[in-house]
Amino acid sequence: MSYKWDNKKPTAQMLGRWQPFHDGHYALFEEIIKKTGQVCIQIRDVQGVDDNPFDFETVKKNIEEKLNPKYEGRFKIILVPNITNICYGRGVGYKIEEIVMPEEIQKISATKIRAKMREEGKLKWSQMDDRLKTIVDLEKYPIQDLNSPKIKELIEKCKSELNQFSCSTVPNFILPKSLKIMNSELEKQLDEVYMSKESINAYLYAKDDPSLPENHPKRMFMNRYNGYLNSDCFPKDSEMKFLYETDELLKFVSACLGVEPIYRWADPLACHAYNVMKPDGILPWHFDSCEFTLSLMIQKPEKGGVFEYCPNIREPGNENFDEVKKVIDGDRTRVRQLKLEPGDLQIFKGRFTLHRVTKIEGKLSRYMCIPAYVLDPWRVNTPEHSKAIYGKVLPIHLERNKERADGLTDWKWKI
């Protein structure tokens, strides 16, 4: 006699992505069904999120083929939202239970199964991967698979360089065709670039503070001529906007930094802005307001525009003003140089490292994209910083204008 499902009977829940449902999952199901005799298998709605290529119907069919006819009628399969937190109060009438499987079962990996399926041509790239592989050189840098030996080696290299020098470069990261698209995106909107020319200090202040000693670095002002195409100007299908919003890039950068979690910057003007330095443009010594910055070289100038930096010159709770002053005064002991080529990716700890870009010489402008990541998903630029650098202040800058926890100097007086 076949089993008849009964919603009123005690039921075990089995929640997962099942991308795909494999022998390890089957073994787990066999343990779970012993608890109540019937199991509700919940499939998280994650197709297209990260490396989850299978849709609900495909996953459902795969599970049914694995479990039938032996367990026919004893399981129900339903689609649920992308559940990431299971919360409960006291005395709720059910329990959350971990089932520890043998080591050989735990070693079964859906990630490795997907990789093998792709190698054998049984699984195509997802739609996101299809576009991603037209932007990033995934043959050389398969960032969609952090378990790839190529990527593991690259991550270790980047992590070592970032720990030692606060900076690491991945050459030819962006494909030439994508570079042309990004260049075209920017040049179509050059009239929307906010250019600013002013005298600022290393903390992006434009106003003097006479209460400080005359030779304090906060009172040392330098010329700045620089501009941005703000992130809110990007079209919805922008090449750069798409790349920034991929989880593949975020997770790769997080692994290289050795920091988890990191977040995309909530600042709607600055999160992935294009930087424009016209001939005679200069970006003086300064610190960033976000912890981690990427620099993607789109177009290099004929001459000049060299990135210079002083690794880890300050840290939370320690401004190290004496060393900052030495650099601004011309001491080159700490200074390192980085000459980026179009397509190169630079990962950088900009909040803790004093840096600048030397004067642009010749007729060509320097184009960069500056995607940014942060430790605090709530944080945005101060209103003063946003007004001076990006040309306007949005309500979010006023609402979130709070003191930062790291104690480091920010441009924070009122407009």
pLDDT above 80: residue 127: no
**12-119 CATH pick, 3.40.50.1980, 3.40.50.880, 3.90.1150.10, 3.40.50.620:** 3.40.50.620
| pLDDT tens per residue, range 365-393 | 999 999 999 999 899 998 988 998 999 99
For residue 340, give the nearest of 286, 275, 398, 400 by alpha carbon: 275
Phi, psi angles (nearest 5°) of residue 263: -130, 150
Class of domain 149-399 as given by CATH: mainly beta
pLDDT confidence of residue 414: 39
The residues near 243 (Cβ < 8 Å, ≥ 6 apart) are: 132, 135, 136, 249, 371
Ranges of beta strands (E only) in 354-408 are 354-357, 360-361, 366-374
Answer whether 0.85 is exceeded by the pTM: no
Residue 125: which pLDDT band, with cuts at 50, 70 and 90?
Answer: low
Q: Measure the CA–CA gap between 142 and 153, rounded to whole angstroms.
A: 12
- The percent of residues in the chain predicted with pLDDT above 70, rounded, is 97
| pLDDT tens per residue, range 192-221 | 999 999 899 998 888 899 999 999 999 999
For every residue of 118-148, DSSP letters joined together read: HHTTSSPPPHHHHHHHHHB-TTT--TT-TTS
Angle at 359 between CA 357 and CA 363, to 5 degrees: 120
| pLDDT tens per residue, range 74-123 | 999 999 999 988 888 877 778 888 899 898 998 898 888 887 887 777 77
pLDDT confidence of residue 49: 76
pLDDT above 90: residue 286: yes
For the chain, domain boundaries:
12-119, 149-399
* Mean pLDDT computed over every residue of the chain: 91
pLDDT confidence of residue 413: 39
What are the start-end ranges of the H helices in 216-278?
239-244, 247-257
